Structure 1
Amino acid sequence: MDLHVHTPASRDVDPLTYGATEARQIVDMAIAAGLQAIAVTDHNTAGWCDEVADAARGTPLVVLPGVELSTSEGHLLAIWEEGTPAQFIEDVLVELGIPRADHGDLHKSLRTGFAETARRVAARGGLAIAAHADREKGLLRIPVADHVNQTMLDPAITAVEIVDFAEADKVRARLTGKRDLAVVRSSDTTAPGASVHVLHGIGHRRSWIKASRPDLCGLRHAMADPSLRIRLTEPPVPEHTVIESVAVTGGFLNGQQFNFSSDLNCLLGGTGAGKSLLIELIRFALDQQTDAADFPQVRKEVESRLKYALTSGSTVEVVLTRGRARCVVRRAYFEDRSTPPEFVGDTEHLTGLSGRIAITGFSQSEVIEYARTPVGRMALIDAALDLTEFEIREADTVARLNDNGHLISEFGVKIAQARLKLQTLPDVEKRLAELSDLFDGNTVKMQASWSSERALFDTLVGLPELKLADRTANGAKFLASAAVAANQDLYDRAQAAYTQLDEAIDAARAQLSEAMLVVNKELAAIRQEWLDRYQDFDRQLAEAVSRIDVENRGLAALRTRLIELQTEEAKLNTLQTQLNEEFLPGLTTAKAYREELISELLEARQARRRRREDRIKALNTLMGGIVRIKLLRENDDSTYLTDLTTIAKGSRLRSYLQQISEKSTPVKLVRSFLNGDVDGVCAATGVERKHIETLFEHVTERGLIEDLLQMQTLDLHDGLSVEFRKHHNDGYVPIERLAHGQKCTAILIIALADGDDPLIIDQPEDALHAPWIEEYLVAKLRDLRGSRQYIFATRSPGLVVSADAEMIITITSDAANGAIEATGALERHDLNILALYHLEGGPIPFKRRTIKLGSSMM
């Protein structure tokens, strides 16, 4: 807007140098300069106001009629609403003391000064601005500083107009703590470096006014809250992600399209109108719903609301922008079978590595749930972090640890079974020695050799079948016609690739099967040939024993027993070799590898923790000391205790498990088990040795080694400590000791502190103490404006009015459907009335409260 435009109606305009003789030329120049509104303010006259307004009709330019008054102290701009007739303004001039014959005489001064003239202008519906206050005949040039300050404090002075940027800070400094006075810049229809009025000077100085429409109503609201609504430099294009619109097809909000601003948006309406539903539809469409694992009850309530308010096949379409990037996200609702979101457009700049568009969302009462548990609060930190790298590393390491645990468990079983069998070896050797004395030494040696080979050749037949990976079923997905016809060639190529793979697998499987058949046939032949040779030896040896047993001592039967014992000894010796050379070294290697994997797992979790700590440090700085947060390492041992209780079931150790879980970690407990370090566990936990021994023996005897090892991968989730202080000179109080409203305030301050993704909250004021809404939330929202988009479903006057919502959407409903009632900002009359109704209950209760509480404002 340029609020100070002169036309040839001003007598100090030189027709030869001004550059225009018709009103349309002024309108065209303003539009060419990129202005959306101008105020026509000639010296002591409204002579061209009607002409310029008529010339602007049918164009996008808004023309506000006005006048530049020469008061007894200096120049004052008086501006009225568009459409106000020049005749009305001329009548006001007469009332102020300028006869019609003197209209246009810039040397004709009023008898009243700035403040009194401004009050009289305001009484006649106008808006008063101290013109070029830092130049000749400007308010700031009055030598008495106290009088200048008192004049600027007069509410009838709506703003001061300056030429030099530096003067804006000086004006604010003079009024600090007393008034937030609007400061504007306008051209005075002068070119840079010149003082005469020229057409091309229009717009060379200008102000940016935040309003739904650049009329006097919008201007009044802007000047009532200048820190949020008036800028002397062009506002930057939003660089943060913005939800531009949401369209719903089907269900309770069928056919409704909601358009949002890039800043603060507030949804108003009665109970059941659809405010909360709209919040949930946005989260549903973007696949950013409440985590069922963290807050199952909240998620259950949300799912129930969606099921009630949406029909099967309903769709939600969300349009998002970030800078020049634009993306459309669509998602269809089918209860438990809802489709994934479909992205169309420039997703590269709007989606992260997760493939989702980041938002920070809170369903109704979800803020309260975040306040309850340290582990649940960690989601506030993780929401703005990309932890995918650590999740992948952790999942991969856990998978390898589980495979390793299975291997260690198998080795443990084999070692235990081997040692149990090997306990019989001394007895076998003793009985074998006794029998050997009855036979010739060479006979015994030959028999022992054949018995040793029997243990080897008996296992030769029945080579287990080797299997290749199963054929993939993914190729079937590409048999159908392409969803996008232009991509049919890619479908065909994918199907051909999978067919090629399946053919290769089939060929390899056939080749392997044929090789297995040949090898097993050969091994069977080898074993049979060995058996034939053994039978020859056995016949020869039996004949020899018959010749020796002339006294009929039963040597043939004893020889059978000798063979059995020799075979058993051979098997036990083989088992002993396996134990020493395979099982025990394999277990040692598996344990060592497990320690490497544990180190990898802990490093991945530590790296994730460092990233969280960096974010926490940044958040603490941004929160300005109101809230302080800390990382609680491995804060949740509930799953550890649950798993330990399951494993120890039947051991009669329940009374000691709590102490073990509190004083140890799964990693250290399992490590002690694998190393047989009972004393280490006792020292760490304070539990008696006999109880730890019982636990370890129970795990081994019940075959629960693999279950215990799997427990070593448990993540004792980090938690978030939150502390709050009401004032800078107060101490911090842990959130667990705070009142309900203070808890929610602390959580919301964290949510507001950082990030530029859209912040969407259903009734953020729930359970908050009313003064805190103003002191903490509103103050923070005002500080952060322009850096993030906010969408709140709310009933709080503080959030809507004090925080100055850019876009208000009121929703109404009947029994079957909800619908948009009105959209816009507070300066719109219909929105103002609806906001008064929804926030204050209407004008009558608002007036009653004003009357009864207004005395406290005196």
Structure 2
Amino acid sequence: MFQSGTEWVRADFHLHTKADKEFSYNGEQDRFVSDYIYNLKKENIRVGVITNHNKFDLKEYRGLKKKARKENITLLPGVELSVKEGANGIHCLIVFKEEDWIKGNSESVNQFLDEVFKGIENRENENTRCNKDLAGTVETLDSYNNDYFILMAHIEQKSGFFKECNGGLIGSLSKKRWFKEKVLGFQKGQTRDKMKQLEKWMGYKLPYIEGSDCKSIEEIGKGKKSYIKIGDGTFDSVILALKDYQNRTSLTENNYNHGHIKSVELIGGKMDNQKINLSPELNSLIGIRGSGKSSIIEAIRYSLDIRPSTADEDYKTEVVKNLLESGGQVIIELQDNHKKNYKIKRILGESPHILDENGEEIGVTVNSILQTPLYFGQKDLSYMKNGFELELLNKLVGKKIKFFERDLNDINDQLGNQITQLYQLNDKVEDLPDLKKNLTDIKHKINIFEENGLTTKLSKQVNFQKDERNIENVYKLINKFKEDMEHLLNSPGLIELNELRNQESSEVPELFINLSREVSSVIAVKKEIQEIIDKIDSSSQQVKKYLEEIQEIISSLEEEFAEIKREIDIPNLNPDDFAKLKTNEDNLIKEIDQVTTQEETKGDIESKIRATLDKRNQLLLQEFQVYKDEIEKINSNQNSLELNIEFKGNKESFLENLRQSFRGSNINQSAYQSISETHSDFSALIGDVLLEDSKVTSSLVTEAQLIKVKGMIKENYNEQLKVRTPNKIEIKYHGKPITRHSIGQRASALVLFILSQKDNNLIMIDQPEDDLDNQVIYNEIITKVKERKPEVQFIFATHNANIPVLGDSEQVIAVSYDEKKLSTKIGSVDNKDIQNKIVDIMEGGQEAFNKRTQIYNLWKND
């Protein structure tokens, strides 16, 4: 029992047995114990109290308890006592601490019963009242100096506390010290109005519990159910649950629906063959400094593939190496939100492997099983560089904004391509005067050939060469078109459609038949595309033949052309230059026409860039809204923290990135400051320089600096577009910005920030008390942990007793280290051995604890 620490179990506080006069059993006498325990197990009752009417049978109780123990069921001794109070007496369920009341073969329960029923016959009748009222009964019980507690039975029925007592008596009794100390709950408080009235009379609340009040084996567990949260099958664990009833009792079953780590096993290294079972709620690794608490939490972090912060990454990496040693391995068993089980195995230095319940590798990430696990190691809470608030928020909402990053990269690529087109066009337009001048020069040189009457003689060769170039250009364009069609043929979309062609539906089969028909229709286009490609290829081959044909003709005319050139004998005129000049003339005319045509599209390119810049900002605003919504949740979940967010507000980050990007431009600090305050980010700066002729930027820098800025933007715009101006998040703690608080207060604010999240399955924090003060831990942190732990798994490494004790830690792992081996002692906070460990480790031992308690009591009395 309780391998994973404290857990919810069903409890029946009102069980009768064959020893009770009112109980009916028709089975074989030697089968009673087995039948009884079988029915407890069948009803999933793991804690029961034997409460026969005014009677306790030690032999029967021991037989039942022995059998129950084998089935991991805890039975406690008790009695249903009818006390002399109210109109018809009150039935009380008295639960005894076995170690106190039963010693070997002797017990004090019947001695107590003999005392309170002295002179009264037929006491086993359920309506027979003892000779003591409630106060007298408690006084008699206390005289034995043994531990016990009382539950008021079936309080709304006959002989019930509410039914038999009036408001004045209830108010009077409930104010008594002995009542408050010993009466710990009410059974079968079922009418809401009556329970409100009861609480009004009393002035405080007690838990409502259930018991089947069974009169036969078949009635065991019937009726309403009761659950308690315990970590040890003992009287003390049950009494602790009833005293902390707000957190440890329930009339409905409690199930854990969040993903969590079930166990951590280490193979090799300093914890070879040790396994740590974890609770889905609060787990506390305790130990003196240097005991190895951090080693375990770092091993878990490493297995989950969570990178430590850059603050002390090397140190944390060494901690894991020191624990696991060469070849060491961590195996984590975990469960997701859908109650499916997995294993993560990671050998030191290797990648983690995630396996399903069948041991098959499934190739998913940890985040797909454990929803956004958070880890904060030593110093992480006090490490506060610029922008740490956003980094922290990113850990919490990273899953929600992941696709924004992908879309932003696509937009940045699109924007970069458009800017490239504009720069290329601008460069060509700038070169246009030179192109025209070159054309004029070439025409002048051609004119010299014409004046000497050589044009006619050389035109045949020039025309053939021009025809060859035209055919060659057609051949290239046809092949380029063919490549484009082949790319379309191999489109991933067509491949995916082909895989989806035969989908079926059990709900709308006819609709999916029609869907398949349309997919097949699109797939059929693939055949048509292939036919087009074949036609293009056929044309390409034909044009190639034309090219080869004209090349053969030119080759056959080479001697004719050579003869013409030999006949020309004009000083300073080379006939070969004429052909080159005519080729250059054609190329320049085409290039000038092309640039002139493209210049007309400049406005379209600029419009596209403006639209893409707006698209980029709209995407960033959508991401900003996700942050804003998350911040509103955080602000509404608690009162200590207030978060605010400003769109692209981290100007310090933008300023630093400007310095890095324009290093060497001779821009001074004041100008950098002005640029960062005037422009929201690099995209705004690039837009001003490229689209608005530096209208804004020119007023912020000198002319010489502007020239350098323009040049550096042209060289680096693709990289600059990737650099974001982060949103600025301000965290206020108790109304004051976190940056103006002490380290301890800042860390406290961050822990509260972390604990206020709703979407994280696991939160691990290593020794938060290093940066927190005890008052904050108790007043705020512990309160929030107790509120959140039914929905989030916490793993704390700590040497502060407040966390495991006041946090009511479901599982405690006491760690010790002797330089060669790291050892653990594991159990819930209910476990006596663990309680002793807490006192020894965290309070300096029992003697120190007792002395402090004495001093605190003296101070309190003074």
Change (3 A) 1:298 1:122: farther
The answer to whether the aligner puts 1:609 opposite 2:628 as a matched pair is: no
Following superposition, the deviation at residue 720 of structure 1 comes to 2.7
The more displaced of 154-163 and 795-804 is 154-163
In structure 1, the partner of 2:77 is: 65
Q: What are the Cα deviations for residues 100-141 of structure 1, in whole angstroms up to 9, with x where unaligned? A: 977646322215627843861783222233333344444444
Following superposition, the deviation at residue 227 of structure 1 comes to 1.1
The answer to whether the aligner puts 1:850 opposite 2:858 as a matched pair is: no
Q: What are the Cα deviations for residues 653-681 of structure 1, in whole angstroms up to 9, with x where unaligned? A: 24423421332121122122222522233
After TM superposition, list the pairs within 5 Å mapping 1:427-446 onto structure 2: 440=451
For residues 701 and 264 of structure 2, what CA distance do their matches in structure 1 show? Answer: 64
Following superposition, the deviation at residue 81 of structure 1 comes to 2.9
The count of aligned residue pairs is: 771
Q: What are the Cα deviations for residues 439-460 of structure 1, in whole angstroms up to 9, with x where unaligned? A: 7497679889988997997899
The more displaced of 637-646 and 123-132 is 637-646
Contact 1:452 1:567 in 2 (8 A): no
Q: What are the Cα deviations for residues 259-312 of structure 1, in whole angstroms up to 9, with x where unaligned? A: 01122111112223332222222222222333xxxx312333321211222223
For residues 338 and 401 of structure 2, what CA distance do their matches in structure 1 show? Answer: 27
In structure 2, the partner of 1:632 is: 646
For 1:759, which of 741, 760, 763 is the aligned residue?
763
Q: What are the Cα deviations for residues 621-671 of structure 1, in whole angstroms up to 9, with x where unaligned? A: 2x2332222333224456654554455344322442342133212112212
Aligned residue type for 2:703: K
For 1:218, which of 237, 247, 262 is the aligned residue?
237
In structure 2, the partner of 1:783 is: 787
In structure 2, the partner of 1:286 is: 304
In structure 2, the partner of 1:357 is: 370
For 2:150, which of 125, 128, 132 is the aligned residue?
128
For 1:832, which of 807, 821, 835 is the aligned residue?
835
For residues 210 and 45 of structure 1, what CA distance do their matches in structure 2 show? Answer: 28
For residues 852 and 628 of structure 1, what CA distance do their matches in structure 2 show? Answer: 39
Aligned residue type for 1:301: Y
Change (3 A) 1:531 1:224: farther
Change (3 A) 1:568 1:115: same
The answer to whether the aligner puts 1:234 opposite 2:269 as a matched pair is: no
For 2:181, which of 156, 171, 192 is the aligned residue?
156
For 1:619, which of 624, 634, 641 is the aligned residue?
634
Question: Normalised by the size of structure 2, how large is the TM-score?
Answer: 0.78
Following superposition, the deviation at residue 849 of structure 1 comes to 1.8
Contact 1:130 1:160 in 2 (8 A): yes
Give the SS at the match of 1:628: strand
In structure 1, the partner of 2:801 is: 797
Contact 2:95 2:149 in 1 (8 A): yes
Following superposition, the deviation at residue 804 of structure 1 comes to 0.8
The answer to whether the aligner puts 1:266 opposite 2:292 as a matched pair is: no
Aligned residue type for 2:237: G
Change (3 A) 1:523 1:368: farther
Aligned residue type for 1:619: I
In structure 1, the partner of 2:351 is: 339
Contact 2:148 2:182 in 1 (8 A): no
Structure 1, unpaired ranges of 5+: 190-196, 470-503, 547-553, 726-731
In structure 1, the partner of 2:92 is: 76
In structure 2, the partner of 1:170 is: 196
Change (3 A) 1:263 1:98: farther
Question: Normalised by the size of structure 1, how large is the TM-score?
Answer: 0.78
Q: What are the Cα deviations for residues 558-605 of structure 1, in whole angstroms up to 9, with x where unaligned? A: 9999999888766654543343235x4576665454445444443433
The answer to whether the aligner puts 1:298 opposite 2:321 as a matched pair is: no
Q: Which protein, 1 or 2, shows the higher relative CO under an 8 Å CA cutoff with sep ≥ 6?
A: 2
Q: What are the Cα deviations for residues 663-722 of structure 1, in whole angstroms up to 9, with x where unaligned? A: 21211221222225222334xxx51563564335544xxxx6141344133222224322
Give the SS at the match of 1:332: strand
Contact 1:49 1:66 in 2 (8 A): no
Change (3 A) 1:77 1:151: farther
Aligned residue type for 1:142: C
Give the SS at the match of 2:311: helix
Aligned residue type for 1:670: I
Change (3 A) 1:112 1:603: closer
For residues 829 and 20 of structure 1, what CA distance do their matches in structure 2 show? Answer: 38
For residues 458 and 537 of structure 1, what CA distance do their matches in structure 2 show? Answer: 22
Contact 2:97 2:148 in 1 (8 A): yes
Give the SS at the match of 2:851: helix
After TM superposition, list the pairs within 5 Å mapping 1:36-55 onto structure 2: 36-46=46-56, 48-55=57-64
In structure 2, the partner of 1:6 is: 16
Change (3 A) 1:439 1:341: closer
Contact 1:248 1:256 in 2 (8 A): yes
For 1:107, which of 125, 129, 134 is the aligned residue?
129
In structure 2, the partner of 1:319 is: 333
Contact 2:343 2:354 in 1 (8 A): yes
After TM superposition, list the pairs within 5 Å mapping 1:290-689 onto structure 2: 290=308, 295-322=309-336, 325-335=339-349, 338-345=350-357, 355=368, 357-358=370-371, 359-369=373-383, 373-383=388-398, 385-420=399-434, 422=436, 440=451, 538=565, 542=568, 572-582=588-598, 584=599, 590-621=605-636, 623-636=637-650, 640-641=654-655, 644-655=658-669, 656-664=671-679, 665-682=681-698, 686-688=699-701
Over the aligned positions, Cα root-mean-square deviation in angstroms equals: 4.4
The percent of aligned pairs where both chains have the same amino acid is 18
The more displaced of 439-448 and 239-248 is 439-448
